[in-house]
Amino acid sequence: MAADWSTIESLPQTPLLDLFANDPNRLASLSLDVAGIHFDWSKTHLTPEAVAAFVELAKAKGLAAKRDALFGGEVVNVTEGRAVEHTAERGEGNPESVATARASHARMRALIDAIEAEALGPIRHVLHIGIGGSALGPDLLVDALGRDTDRYDVAIVSNVDGVALEEVFKRFDPAATLLVVASKTFTTTETMLNATSALQWMTENGVEDPYGRVIALTANPDKAVEWGVDETRILSFAESVGGRYSLWSTIGFPAALGLGWDAFEELLEGAAEMDRHFRLTDLAQNAPALAAFADLYYTQVRHAETRAPFAYDERLRLLPSYLQQLEMESNGKGVTVDGEAVGRPTAAITWGGVGTDAQHAVFQLLHQGTHLVPVEFIAVIEPGDVLSDDHHRQLLLNAFAQGAALMKGKKVDDPARSYSGDRPSSTILLDTLDPRTLGALIAFYEHRVFVNGVLLGINSFDQFGVELGKEMAKAADQGGQEFDPSTEDLIQRAFGA
């Protein structure tokens, strides 16, 4: 089979219900189970033939070699001349990098033991300050897994809007607060300003040695020292761990402290299990690869501009925003690794929400709107609540029924009340939501992003697109630079002459 996009573009476009009718084996061939997670792509337009064509394309794009290079610690982030080693944090990768990660985890564990033993005083509150990858991952973990623990009260603050910090100041006791400053670069404006204000709040409220209560999580320890953090409380991680891939590193500290060390280790083990699946399984049976094939089918062949994950589980309510950074910052690119224009759409816009809430708000567009939106349902079989079974039963049945309705549609005489159907969805069903399964789920998404990037020929691991806005904000702050009339007017209105 020719291994290019045209093969995939010329595949027959058969409606979903016909695909089921024509192939009694469809469900079995388009679903699989890995690491306590069931994946079902049978309600997408993928077919065994489409998968075979994508496997050929992946071969032509050198996916296997690129995957080996990723796990081998080679420089795959070419524009920044760096290896990409988040998998080493969970024990999978170049042995030297794995050893470095283990050593940094050991230091993190020792510090957590010391905090638990009250070496830094009677800590009850943990104020974690970071933004982007230094906040979204920890926030997801703590929110998803920390509901039933009373170990520590963890707050994650990212926004430079002082309102975000003030909310936490109102409920935290400064005398019992640990301040965690998380920044890979230790230069991010928002984080450094928030950290300074938090230190000031501690000082103003009588904490004698506020610096003694600061933990820094960073790949730039020198900057943390310069900022005043004692070396014994700097938990560094490797430069080769990207910001949006960093929750496995010491950036996961608030999760490890808030959930306990065993939970953090289980998270890493679950991710490692997905790593091994991704590294060792045939692409036709490989969960991250199949998910990426479905993504690419819709962006390239059906011209879908967005994709929408809906978490049918309150505990996973932060998953869509976590995925927005992971997917859009990684694959929202316009040039290939060789600097050429990609010439085809790259990442879909990731949006989504929480079920069942979203059904009563945005699902109208999914069922009858004019955009094709591949939907992803994420649900958990074991309930997170102890109320009557009705709650969880309603939650799951709604998720399943939505997928069925999108596919089946409904034709009636009144066009306003008709549903076209043939709208795709995939389902990700976790046995339970524990650290291990969540680790595997997040690693699945990471590798899916990687496969998308390789097939598109782009570098998923840089993010130069965020720089220009930062530069211009800095210039505006420093003054002396002339902007366009609109921007000048806005500055004038907000701050006067």
Site for ligand G6P in 121-160 (CB under 6 A): 131-134
179 to 208: interface string for ligand G6P, x by CB under 6 A: ----xxx--x--x-----------------
Residue 341: CB minimum distance to ligand G6P, A:
23
Is residue 466 close enough to count as binding ligand G6P by CB under 6 A? yes
Residue 325: CB minimum distance to ligand G6P, A:
7
CA separation, residue 336 to residues 5, 79, 301, 331, 339 (Å): 16, 10, 19, 11, 5
Q: Specify the residue, 100 or 183, whose C-beta has the smaller distance to ligand G6P.
A: 183
Residue 185: CB minimum distance to ligand G6P, A:
3
Q: 37-40 and 153-157 as β-strands: parallel, antiparallel, unpaired?
A: unpaired
Are the C-beta atoms of 172 and 241 separated by less than 8 Å?
no
Q: Specify the residue, 55 or 131, whose C-beta has the smaller distance to ligand G6P.
A: 131
Q: Specify the residue, 40 or 327, whose C-beta has the smaller distance to ligand G6P.
A: 327
Residue 476: CB minimum distance to ligand G6P, A:
17
Q: Which two tokens stand for residue 322?
A: 């976590």
Q: Specify the residue, 359 or 463, whose C-beta has the smaller distance to ligand G6P.
A: 463
Q: 375-380 and 425-430 as β-strands: parallel, antiparallel, unpaired?
A: parallel
CA distance 494 to 497: 9
Residue 224: CB minimum distance to ligand G6P, A:
12
* Active site annotation includes 360: yes
**Count of residues interacting with ligand G6P (CB under 6 A):** 14
Burial class (CB in 10 A: 0-12, 13-18, 19+), 109: middle
Residue 425: CB minimum distance to ligand G6P, A:
29
Residue 4 burial (CB count, 10 A): 13
**Residue from 85, 92, 143, 329 that binds ligand G6P (CB under 6 A)?**
329
Q: Specify the residue, 359 or 460, whose C-beta has the smaller distance to ligand G6P.
A: 460
Is residue 249 close enough to count as binding ligand G6P by CB under 6 A? no
Catalytic residue among 371, 391, 470, 474: 470
- Among the residues of 281-376, which ranges form H helices? 287-296, 319-323, 330-331, 363-368
* Active site annotation includes 80: no
Is residue 463 close enough to count as binding ligand G6P by CB under 6 A? yes
Q: Which of 64, 440, 49, 60 is nearest to 283 (CA)?
A: 64
Region from 58-66, 178-186, 363-371, 429-437 binding ligand G6P, contact rule CB under 6 A: 178-186
Q: Which of 452, 432, 361, 359 is nearest to 397 (CA)?
A: 359
Q: Specify the residue, 86 or 436, whose C-beta has the smaller distance to ligand G6P.
A: 86
Residue 374 CB partners (closer than 8 Å, separation 6+): 44, 294, 295, 298, 304, 307, 308, 348, 424, 425, 426
Are the C-beta atoms of 70 and 76 separated by less than 8 Å?
yes
Catalytic residue among 329, 392, 446, 447: 329
Q: Specify the residue, 47 or 249, whose C-beta has the smaller distance to ligand G6P.
A: 249
Site for ligand G6P in 336-395 (CB under 6 A): none
- How many helices (H) and strands (E) would you count in the chain? 20, 12
Catalytic residue among 360, 467, 471, 482: 360
* Active site annotation includes 329: yes
Residue 243 CB partners (closer than 8 Å, separation 6+): 132, 133, 134, 184, 463
CA distance 272 to 445: 13
Q: Specify the residue, 327 or 422, whose C-beta has the smaller distance to ligand G6P.
A: 327
Three-state DSSP at 320 gives helix
Phi and psi dihedrals of 48, rounded to 5? Answer: -55, -35
**Residue from 66, 213, 244, 423 that binds ligand G6P (CB under 6 A)?**
244
Residue 249: CB minimum distance to ligand G6P, A:
11
Residue 86: CB minimum distance to ligand G6P, A:
13
Phi and psi dihedrals of 85, rounded to 5? Answer: -125, 40
Residue 270 CB partners (closer than 8 Å, separation 6+): 35, 36, 435, 436, 437, 438, 439, 440, 441, 443
Is residue 77 close enough to count as binding ligand G6P by CB under 6 A? no
The residues carrying an active-site annotation are: 329, 360, 470
Where along the sequence are the contacts to ligand G6P (CB under 6 A)?
Answer: 131-134, 183-185, 188, 191, 243-244, 329, 463, 466
